[in-house]
């Protein structure tokens, strides 16, 4: 009934019959972060839950619907965002890896929302390069952006704003709600935080958080990858071998670059140069004593990995504390303005992440921790409070969902599906039974080879097609994906079926981008410190 009424109002408005009628279509606030793994959200019941990392996001889940089986199509930043803008897989929207530039001239959901009378805005990390199109108001971080005193590219040029990026972006969102909103129109506001992206630099007020506790360790912190295909042994995203004590973990981090051997002009080091004397002092006061304790203990081997993990996980979770507070601030602002009842609030992040799982950080793989995305939607009066949905959903579905909410037409060439029926508690029988995944950025930082694959509720088939290496997992008996069953005779028939289904998905999404690649043999070297 509500939908019918909205569509009717829209039609009347567009035809100019009711020039000043109130438009009751819901507003959308899309809060989107960078690299927030679902298992670092209390409501997702992961092994970090005991730390209570996200009380406000948990509250959002209690007020709305949490999607348990929510996945990205390509676990990396720019591409995930491009999929959301277009409702199309990477090979269709042209943004396959972070090195690409987004073609803003193409069809995007914000443009289509504008066409049906929505006011649109985006603040924070876009990572799509170029000038954003489809937004009535915008300000974006250049590239990855910086945590402290970041530059923001605005409609009136680039400005530097003092403060922590999470707070800067939150303030812009609040300013939009309080001052920039066109009260005659519904709005769609994208609040896009840099946190908790590498290098994990928390706000000053969170630097001491978790100081007096040990963060639980993941069961797979010391994974040896011996029963996976070779790519898992040859990546470059291990806490042990690839996480840098100074660059990533700020041990002896100093603004005096002369003293830092082998420094490169990125993230934390670059950011130190822009910190005010007060910020630098607070930073030194917080990390100085921790560094001293580290040097005194001088850990090595597994103890050093454990120490690095603690420092990393704490900084990651400290960054998330800022995000969680941002969710609270934005929801409070909606309440204060009387907008809460007709505003849908969504929390999501561009992909999952490894927080020591398998001994790793970063993302990219089709393995669970990085393929999963948080997706929580609170739609007052529509989503059942505290509900959990287990249908397979993807970021591919967001564009059509937003258009459906607005009562707009969903273009035929979009490749997802609106989740509005799921939000209403319906159980569509023809909902997808599998999802398609394709990652492209190789060779590149962290060295995860290109791969595509299919995931059903229970099984996953992955193809590292540059090397013609396959993996197959039974997620029920092996949720950590430690035992590749691809060569297990007992699964021969099932794997054959799933290969056909994978082919079917490639055809359905018109993806032949793996075909041009000629497989080369994998040189399976012995991994340092392991038997093979």
Residues near ligand SGN (CB under 6 A) are 34-35, 76-77, 98, 127, 144, 197-199, 266-267, 362, 445-446
Q: Cβ of residue 178: shortest distance to ligand SGN, in angstroms?
A: 30
CB 356 within 8 A of CB 239: yes
18 burial via Cβ count (<10 Å: 0-12, 13-18, 19+): middle
Q: Cβ of residue 427: shortest distance to Ca ion, in angstroms?
A: 32
Report the distance separating Cα 360 and Cα 148, nearest Å: 26
Q: Cβ of residue 192: shortest distance to Ca ion, in angstroms?
A: 11
List phi, psi (to 5°) of 455.
Answer: -125, 130
Closest CB to ligand SGN among residues 112, 146: 146
Closest CB to ligand SGN among residues 244, 281: 244
Which residue in the shown chain puts its C-beta closest to Ca ion?
Answer: 77
Q: Cβ of residue 81: shortest distance to ligand SGN, in angstroms?
A: 9
Q: Cβ of residue 80: shortest distance to Ca ion, in angstroms?
A: 7
List phi, psi (to 5°) of 99.
Answer: -75, -15
Nearest to 439 by CA among 351, 519, 348, 349: 351
Nearest to 215 by CA among 311, 293, 301: 311
Reading the block at residue 301, the tokens are 């081997």
Q: Which does 98 bind (CB under 5 to 8 A by kind): Ca ion, ligand SGN, none?
A: ligand SGN
Residue 427 half-sphere exposure toward CB, CA atoms < 13 A: 3
Q: Which does 506 bind (CB under 5 to 8 A by kind): ligand SGN, Ca ion, none?
A: none
The verdict on 469 binding Ca ion (CB under 5 A) reads no
CB 396 within 8 A of CB 437: no
Closest CB to Ca ion among residues 238, 350: 350
Cis before residue 275, ω within 30 degrees of 0?
Answer: no
Which residue in the shown chain puts its C-beta closest to ligand SGN?
Answer: 77
CB 440 within 8 A of CB 74: yes
Q: Cβ of residue 197: shortest distance to Ca ion, in angstroms?
A: 6
Q: Cβ of residue 484: shortest distance to ligand SGN, in angstroms?
A: 24
Q: Which does 199 bind (CB under 5 to 8 A by kind): Ca ion, ligand SGN, none?
A: ligand SGN
Q: Give the number of residues in contact with Ca ion, rule: CB under 5 A.
A: 4
Closest CB to ligand SGN among residues 9, 199: 199
Closest CB to Ca ion among residues 38, 407: 38
Q: Which does 362 bind (CB under 5 to 8 A by kind): Ca ion, ligand SGN, none?
A: ligand SGN
Contact characters 9-38, Ca ion, x per CB under 5 A: -------------------------xx---
Closest CB to Ca ion among residues 54, 383: 54
Cβ contacts of 51 within 8 Å, gap of 6 or more = 210, 213, 215, 216, 317
The verdict on 320 binding Ca ion (CB under 5 A) reads no
Stretch that binds Ca ion, among 1-9, 234-242, 333-341, 344-352 (CB under 5 A): 344-352
Q: Which does 198 bind (CB under 5 to 8 A by kind): Ca ion, ligand SGN, none?
A: ligand SGN
Does residue 302 sit in helix, strand or coil? Answer: helix
- What's the Cα-to-Cα distance from 512 to each of 91, 228, 435, 452, rounded to whole Å? 9, 26, 16, 11
Closest CB to ligand SGN among residues 36, 39: 36
As a whole number of Å, the end-to-end CA separation of the chain is 63
Torsion, Cα of 71, 376, 150, 243 (10° steps): -50
Closest CB to Ca ion among residues 35, 506: 35
Q: Which does 446 bind (CB under 5 to 8 A by kind): Ca ion, ligand SGN, none?
A: ligand SGN
Interaction residues for Ca ion, span 36-95 (CB under 5 A): 77
Q: Cβ of residue 265: shortest distance to ligand SGN, in angstroms?
A: 10
Closest CB to ligand SGN among residues 94, 411: 94
- Print burial letters for 411-446: b (CB count within 10 Å at least 16), e (below 16): eeebbbbbbbebbeeeeeeeebebbbbbbbbbebeb
Bridge partner list, 469: 464
Report the distance separating Cα 482 and Cα 302, nearest Å: 20
Which residues are at the interface with Ca ion (CB under 5 A)? Answer: 34-35, 77, 350
């Amino acid at each position: 009934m509500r939908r019918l009424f909205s569509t009717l109002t829209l039609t009347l408005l567009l035809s100019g019959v009711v020039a000043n009628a109130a438009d009751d279509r819901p507003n959308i606030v899309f809060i989107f972060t960078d690299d927030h793994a679902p298992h670092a959200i209390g409501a997702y019941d992961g092994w970090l839950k005991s730390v209570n990392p996200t009380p406000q996001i948990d509250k959002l889940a209690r007020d709305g619907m949490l999607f348990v089986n929510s996945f990205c199509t390509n676990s990396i930043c720019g591409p995930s965002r491009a999929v959301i803008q277009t409702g199309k897989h990477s090979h269709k929207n042209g943004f396959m890896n972070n090195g690409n530039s987004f073609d803003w001239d193409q069809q995007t959901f914000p443009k289509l929302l504008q066409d049906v009378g929505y006011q649109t805005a985006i603040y924070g990390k876009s990572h799509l390069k170029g000038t954003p199109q489809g937004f009535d108001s915008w300000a974006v971080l250049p590239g990855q952006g910086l945590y402290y005193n970041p530059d923001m590219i605005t409609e009136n040029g680039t400005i530097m704003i003092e403060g922590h990026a999470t707070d800067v972006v939150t303030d812009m969102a609040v300013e939009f709600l309080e001052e920039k909103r066109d009260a005659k129109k519904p709005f769609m506001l994208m609040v896009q935080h840099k946190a908790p992206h590498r290098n994990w630099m928390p706000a000053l007020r969170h630097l001491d958080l978790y100081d007096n506790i040990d963060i639980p360790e993941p069961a797979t912190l010391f994974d040896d990858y011996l029963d996976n295909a070779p790519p898992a042994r040859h990546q470059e995203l291990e806490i042990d071998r690839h996480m840098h004590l100074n660059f990533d973990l700020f041990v002896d981090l100093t603004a005096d670059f002369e003293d830092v051997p082998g420094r490169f002009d990125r993230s934390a080091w670059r950011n130190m140069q822009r910190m005010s004397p007060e910020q630098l002092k607070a930073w030194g006061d917080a990390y100085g004593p921790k560094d001293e304790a580290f040097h005194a203990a001088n850990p090595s081997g597994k103890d050093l990995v454990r120490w690095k993990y603690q420092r990393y996980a704490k900084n990651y979770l400290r960054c998330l504390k800022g995000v969680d507070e941002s969710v609270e601030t934005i929801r409070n602002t909606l309440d204060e303005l009387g907008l809460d009842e007709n505003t849908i609030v969504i929390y999501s992040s561009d992909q999952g992440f490894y927080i020591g799982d398998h001994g790793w950080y970063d993302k990219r793989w089709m393995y669970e921790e990085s393929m999963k995305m948080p997706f929580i939607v609170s739609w007052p009066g529509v989503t059942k409070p505290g509900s959990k949905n287990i249908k397979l959903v993807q970021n591919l579905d967001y564009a059509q969902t937003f258009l459906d909410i607005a009562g707009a037409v969903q273009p035929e060439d979009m490749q997802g599906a609106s989740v509005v029926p799921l939000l209403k508690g319906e159980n569509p029988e023809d909902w997808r039974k599998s999802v398609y995944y394709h990652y492209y950025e190789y060779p590149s930082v962290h060295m995860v080879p290109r791969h595509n694959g299919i995931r059903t509720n229970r099984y996953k088939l992955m193809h590292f097609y540059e090397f013609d290496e396959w993996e197959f997992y039974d997620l029920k008996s092996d949720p950590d994906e430690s035992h590749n069953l691809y060569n297990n005779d007992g699964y021969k028939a099932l794997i054959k079926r799933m290969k056909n289904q994978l082919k079917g998905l490639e055809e359905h999404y018109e993806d032949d981008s793996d075909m041009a690649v000629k497989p080369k043999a994998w040189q399976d070297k012995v991994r340092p410190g392991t038997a093979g």
